[in-house]
Amino acid sequence: MKSNKGSATYIFALTLVATLGGLLFGYDTAVISGATGALKSFFITPLYSDPALAAQVILEYKFIVSLCLVIVAVLLGSFLVKLYGSKKGGIYMAVLAIVAILIWYFRFWAQPNELTEGMANAINGFTISSALVGCIIGGSLGGYISQTLGRRNGMMLAAFLFTLSAIGSAIPDKMNFLGFELVSSFIFYRVVGGIGVGLASMIVPMYIAEIAPAGIRGKLVSWNQFAIIFGMLVVYFVNYAIASQGNDTWLDTIGWRWMFASETIPAGLFFFLLFIVPESPRYLVMADKDDKAEKVLNRLVGVSQSKSVLQDIKKTLVERKAPWLSFGGLVIIIGVFISIFQQFVGINVVLYYAPEIFRNMGSGTDTSLLQTIIVGAVNLTFTVVAILTVDKLGRKPLMIIGAVGMAFSMLALGLMFYIGNVGIAALIFMLLYTASFAVSWGPVAWVMLAEIFPNSIRGAMSIAVAAQWVANLIVSWTFPIMNDSTALTNAFHHGFAYWIYGIMGILAAVFMWKVVPETKGRTLEEMEGLWGRKHHSQPIGE
């Protein structure tokens, strides 16, 4: 799909509007970083002096986590049915359900409702990472919503959920319609915002990939990652500005509310700008609206090419309800593992807990938030490097180099904590880690996810997105459990978790080198042909 100068400007304008969803994605996930300490003081610390409140919060925590697990299990189980059919998929789902129920009961529900160090750390971790449960739900439903409501309406739904979450998270006491304890009300609205993030994380890159010519598609999809990182950097400044309005006591009681409320501004802008954006031509063809699709293509590629591009799209959508394993399991496995490794290398520990990490290094609140801004600036700068090089160097080289850089940085950072040298050297390794991620697994993973799935099983991308959010939740929830554990701290001096992430970086590099094919320069239609060939012949690393 080629475009003239006029249509290229139009495509870029549409990309900018769509990437506001990415900006909100970044804003919503990073706003928590400035409030982690305040949320612990506001929601968790009072539990130690009020056993009755602690028991009630623990009971609600168990209930909410159990409900979230059921929802996530049903959504993930539906993927098994779509992959293997109702009979075989149902058997797999039943086996997993039995194992999960046993683990849930004995390792979670049967535990006493007493506030131990481990329980307090777990509630704190879940409060901070609760939005990720919504992300799993939104990511899982993204395929269905993008297929039924369309790409544009799916983004509008995400914008509405962002706005509702921003208001509810800021004033969970006034928006507490369910009658829960305050922390539970806060968690509910964070989950709502997470659903919006999950939807945006899948639909925005899908929309951009479907309106973009192959030659600049990697660059344009990378703009979504740029917007995510830009949203994070913006909120780091917003958090710093809000924290500067008062002392730590003010931040712990009122300041954190303004941090969440500030999201209503970009969320409202995104919602209203979507009214001027057209629907994706590929979705319009799927919905049997060929005339509308052709009109959109006239603007995207020019009148002279619109009919031929329309025919190319229609050819690849002949099997519009093709089973997700039509091209074999490899494409699904690659999508899932790209997503898992993107999170298991520990990036969201840095993004969510950066101020806490810097406080572990001895910084005060203002200094730690300022150092977080530096991390955000490095993240943004090297994301731009990725955007400028992804269509020149290719996807695989950037991903392998980035994984090696992250592995080295995390192993070195863990060593700095272990030996007690948490000064400038530790900061340098954290910045090197951030740069390595930003130039590779940050933007390029999303490019590959948007490119590898053939048109006729495009909905299968939701498995990869859901896997990404599950991995994100696991990492974000377990970090405070590991980092605040007295036993692990005494043994490893806060270095243990970073060594785990470093090992994951090594595995990610090997996976990219041995398993994943290059997608640079291939149209979405050509990718369909590639997977068709690989389904019948095996070497895969080229």
Instruction: Give the tens place of pLDDT for each residue, 335-358.
Output: 899 999 999 998 877 766 666 667
Provide CB contacts within 8 A for 166, sequence distance 6+: 28, 193, 260, 261, 262, 263, 264, 267
Distance, in Å, from the CA atom of 290 to the CA atom of 294, rounded to the nearest integer, reads 6
Tokens read off for 101? 């129920």
Report in angstroms the alpha-carbon separations of 38 from 136, 191, 271, 350, 485. 26, 19, 30, 18, 20
* 436-448: average pLDDT: 85
Instruction: Give the tens place of pLDDT for each residue, 92-114.
Output: 888 888 888 888 888 778 877 88
CA 109 to chain centre: 28
The confidence score (pLDDT) of residue 163 equals 93
Tokens read off for 131? 């939005």
Side-chain-side CA neighbours of residue 526 (13 Å)? 11
The confidence score (pLDDT) of residue 165 equals 94
Side-chain-side CA neighbours of residue 406 (13 Å)? 34
* 127-142: average pLDDT: 84
Tokens read off for 182? 């305050």
Helices 330-344 and 496-514, interaxial angle, to 10°?
150
* 47-52: average pLDDT: 89
Secondary structure letter of residue 278 according to DSSP: P
Dihedral of CA 122/346/451/15: which sign? Answer: positive
Sketch out the chain's domains with CATH numbers: 5-279+317-532 (1.20.1250.20)
For residue 479, with 0-12 CB atoms within 10 Å meaning exposed, 13-18 middle and 19 or more buried, which class applies?
buried
Tokens read off for 4? 């003239």
Instruction: Give the tens place of pLDDT for each residue, 321-340.
Output: 567 777 777 888 888 999 99
pTM recorded for the entire structure: 0.77
Q: In this structure, how many other beta carbons lie within 10 angstroms of the beta carbon of residue 86?
A: 11
Distance, in Å, from the CA atom of 287 to the CA atom of 293, rounded to the nearest integer, reads 10
Tokens read off for 498? 């970073």
Helices 51-104 and 461-483, interaxial angle, to 10°?
130
CB 282 within 8 A of CB 210: yes
pLDDT band at 360 (very low <50, low <70, confident <90, very high): low
Tokens read off for 413? 């950072």
Looking at per-residue pLDDT, the higher value among 187 and 360 belongs to 187
Q: What is the H or E stretch that residue 452 is in? A: helix 443-452
SS3 140: helix
Report the mean per-residue pLDDT for the chain. 82
Distance, in Å, from the CA atom of 331 to the CA atom of 324, rounded to the nearest integer, reads 10
Distance, in Å, from the CA atom of 255 to the CA atom of 247, rounded to the nearest integer, reads 9
Provide CB contacts within 8 A for 335, sequence distance 6+: 449, 452, 453, 460, 461, 463, 464, 467
Secondary structure letter of residue 276 according to DSSP: G
